[in-house]
Amino acid sequence: MNPKVVAIVGAGPAGLFAAKTLAEKDVRVALFNRDIRPGGLAEYGIYPEKHVLKNGLRRQFTSFLEHKNIAYFGNIEVGEGKDLSLPQLENMGFQGILVTAGAQKIKELKVEGESLPRVYHAWEIVSKYNNLPPYSQIEFPIGEKVVIVGVGNVMADVARYLIQKGGVKEITAVARRGPAEIKFHETEFAHIAQNLDLSDFEAEMERVTPLMLKLGQDPNETWAFIEKACENCEEKTGDTNFRLRFLKSPVRFWGDEHRGLQGVECIENSLVEENHVMKTIPTALHTIFDADTAILAVGSSVDDGIGLPVSKDQFTISPYPDYPQDGISYELMDPDSGANISGVFVAGWSRLASYGLVGISGKDGSRGAQALFEFIQDGDGEKPDWELLQSQIRNLKKEIVDKKMIGQLYKAEAEIAAKNGLAEYKFPTNQEMLTAIGLV
Ligand SMILES: Cc1cc2nc3c(=O)[nH]c(=O)nc-3n(C[C@H](O)[C@H](O)[C@H](O)COP(=O)(O)OP(=O)(O)OC[C@H]3O[C@@H](n4cnc5c(N)ncnc54)[C@H](O)[C@@H]3O)c2cc1C
């Protein structure tokens, strides 16, 4: 009897954990990945200097891929008009599909001036410093006065990069809400805490303290958090002045095509608590920050080009799943008919955009895989021939990277790193990667 056969789209942490879960249940898994190398944001998002974490994850993912039930197809993008579409996968005979393609599309603020020169999305900067093709080949000029919109861990990573890179005099991170709602972790902030302008921070805390007290929040907790990060901070690497501004939302990026960005206009917010959620209320006050560069670190969106319904930066998750896992839905709803889309599941950042670290995404991938597994157990359709399916895919007119080649790629990169005394080396273009593994 042929075993069941499924497709997973995206080999980030969610897709890799999902593939492992299904392979161990004797399901054959075709794992498609747009990038040549597996790992998703574990390779191309996590800060480059976190070598221990990145190497550990790389080793773990390599061991997952070794499972005989997993076939890896790197350098294959799935979507409408791409290398393969979801309907094509269904027609090939896959009995179910799990989409774990992350949330890899730029999320726009939809604010005037957002397309001016030197207004970037954090995604572009992070991809650049992590050597993700094609961003690795694009120049993103950075000026001296940078405004970062958002106060999560990605903001902390981008600020860390700008401080280390040098040449930036001032970074102002702008938060929609107040000090009690900051999203970055102390460990991430510790990398930039040495550059925090403490007297400026004190003045900003003084300004927002009356509202915090009115909301029942304790400003001392913010101080304790910042002091702890400062205690554990690194040695100062540059003289960039880092500032935090609270209760502000950008409403306009000032400048012109010729001179690029000149300033960021923000509206002042107040806050009110509704159903345990802190909601912003815009006031009539405006502030303009003098800035020549703005970086939007406000999360990202799922890709509507994959061919699944999207609403407000997320796939339309069904509120009535047929195969819920721990009360969570991994299924999609057709917004026109209101019916569940049969046979297609989502997990990881594709289920909840920009939510959670690798551990959370991996666990979500495993749960999504379990939902898909329950679905295929219910089906009694024809099971395709696994070998035939694989050769059909290999016949695509594209350089397809398999798991053996990934081993060769890592080896080639490790040799270059050793030769040049580097902690890590990553080829910055697809062409170089394909050449190193002998595909071109
Ligand atoms: C800047 C940044 C820093 C981070 N730092 C940390 C950290 O220090 N520690 C930590 O634990 N977590 C960190 N995270 C979070 C972590 O990276 C995520 O939790 C995790 O990578 C999400 O996993 P995922 O598999 O859902 O998506 P992703 O990691 O985004 O993987 C998606 C995969 O799908 C592929 N793909 C996309 N579209 C297609 C398509 N159409 N067809 C085929 N394949 C496709 C991509 O090539 C990619 O391999 C960070 C995230 C960011 C953005």
Per residue in 49-73, pLDDT (tens digit) is 999 999 999 999 999 999 999 999 9
Amino acid type, 382: E
Average pLDDT over the chain, rounded to an integer? 96
Measured distance CA(132)–CA(313) in Å, rounded = 22
Measured distance CA(332)–CA(316) in Å, rounded = 6
Residue 351 CA to ligand 1 center (angstroms) comes to 12
392: left (phi over 0), alpha (psi -120 to 50) or beta: alpha
Rounded average pLDDT over 291-314: 96
The residue whose C-alpha atom lies closest to atom 49 belonging to ligand 1 is 40
DSSP secondary structure code for residue 291 in this structure: -
Domain ranges of the chain: 5-104+301-436, 108-296
Q: Which residue has the tokens 């050769």?
A: 391
Per residue in 372-414, pLDDT (tens digit) is 999 999 887 777 899 999 999 999 999 999 999 999 999 999 9
The residue whose C-alpha atom lies closest to atom 4 belonging to ligand 1 is 46
Amino acid type, 240: T
The residue whose C-alpha atom lies closest to atom 37 belonging to ligand 1 is 101
Measured distance CA(177)–CA(182) in Å, rounded = 8
Q: Which residue has the tokens 């069904």?
A: 318
Residue 122 CA to ligand 1 center (angstroms) comes to 14
Amino acid type, 35: D
CA atoms within 13 A on the CB side of 439: 21
CB 2 within 8 A of CB 29: no
Between 13 and 382, whose confidence is greater?
13
Domains 5-104+301-436 and 108-296 are alike in CATH topology: no
Q: How confident is the model at residue 274 (pLDDT cuts 50, 70, 90)?
A: very high
* Residue 228: C-alpha distances to residues 7, 199, 222 (Å): 46, 17, 10
CA atoms within 13 A on the CB side of 274: 5
Per residue in 315-374, pLDDT (tens digit) is 999 999 999 999 999 999 999 999 999 999 999 999 999 999 999 999 999 999 999 999
Rounded average pLDDT over 195-215: 96
Q: Domain 108-296 adopts which CATH fold?
A: FAD/NAD(P)-binding domain (3.50.50)
Residue 188 CA to ligand 1 center (angstroms) comes to 18
Looking at domain 5-104+301-436, its CATH class is alpha beta
Residue 1 is predicted with a pLDDT of: 64
**% helix / strand / coil in the chain, to the nearest 5?**
35, 25, 40
Q: How confident is the model at residue 229 (pLDDT cuts 50, 70, 90)?
A: confident
Residue 188 CA: which ligand 1 atom is closest?
Answer: 8
Pocket, ligand 1, Cβ cutoff 6 A: 9-15, 32-35, 40-42, 45-47, 50, 77-79, 100-102, 104, 126, 154, 157, 303, 306, 348-349, 356-358, 361
Question: For the purposes of burial, counting CB atoms within 10 Å of the CB of 391, is it exposed (0-12), middle (13-18) or buried (19 or more)?
Answer: exposed
Q: How confident is the model at residue 283 (pLDDT cuts 50, 70, 90)?
A: very high
309 CB neighbour count, 10 Å cutoff = 15
Phi, psi of 371 (to 5 degrees): -60, -45
pTM greater than 0.75: yes
Residue 38 CA: which ligand 1 atom is closest?
Answer: 49
